[in-house]
Amino acid sequence: MEKATFAGGCFWCMVKPFDQWDGIEKVTSGYMGGHIENPTYEDVKRGDSGHVEVVEIIFDTEKFSYEQLLEIYWMQIDPTDAGGQFQDRGESYKTVIYTHSEAQATQAQQSKENLAASGRFKKPIVTDITAAQTFWPAEDYHQDYYKKEEAHYKEDRAQSGRDEFITGHWE
């Protein structure tokens, strides 16, 4: 088993795209990168804790590769937006690939360079790549939100503009 951690804006929208594949053992919503211990959702949303919303993915490398995770990740975000993601604005919603090894760091950097060279986006790719820090799981009510609060999840996602962006750039 290996671990991957991605920040892509609202963590509610980042669970489902990873959660549906054979070889993905667990996807947990949480926080990373800040300067306080045990942050709450309110701490992070306020924007002064230094944390970003992330998903931590435990995956079986025999069934699913880190490269495949990176491909899915890029297709969920606007990698050119340094100010947040879609309707969620501010530092706590920026895009970051947190790496757990040198191999992950190398693969992440190469995938970022490949995306930039592809010409798919007119603006520069601004997603950060940095070493993973302490992961703080989010409160229980945030876990598997797309399953627990399906109607609210769908409404929030529809309002965000994420799906239109994805369709416009990837389909």
Kindly report, residue by residue over 89-115, the tens digit of the pLDDT: 999 999 999 999 999 999 999 999 999
Alpha carbon distance 18, 12 (integer Å): 12
Residues in CB range of 44: below 8 A, 6 or more apart: 31, 34, 51, 52, 53, 92
Model pLDDT, residue 3: 98
The catalytic position among 6, 7, 8, 10 is 10
Mark whether 13 is an active-site residue: no
Kindly report, residue by residue over 39-67, the tens digit of the pLDDT: 999 999 888 899 999 999 999 999 999 99
pTM (two decimals): 0.96
Share of the chain above pLDDT 90, in %: 96
The amino acid that residue 76 corresponds to is Q
Domains of the chain, CATH where assigned: 2-170 (3.30.1060.10)
Q: Rounded to whole angstroms, what are the CA distances from 74 to 35, 42, 123, 169?
A: 27, 27, 15, 11
What band does 171 get if pLDDT is binned at 50, 70 and 90?
confident
Alpha carbon distance 146, 106 (integer Å): 32
Kindly report, residue by residue over 121-139, the tens digit of the pLDDT: 999 999 999 999 999 999 9
Q: Is 89 exposed, middle or buried (0-12, 13-18, 19+ CB in 10 A)?
A: middle
Model pLDDT, residue 48: 87
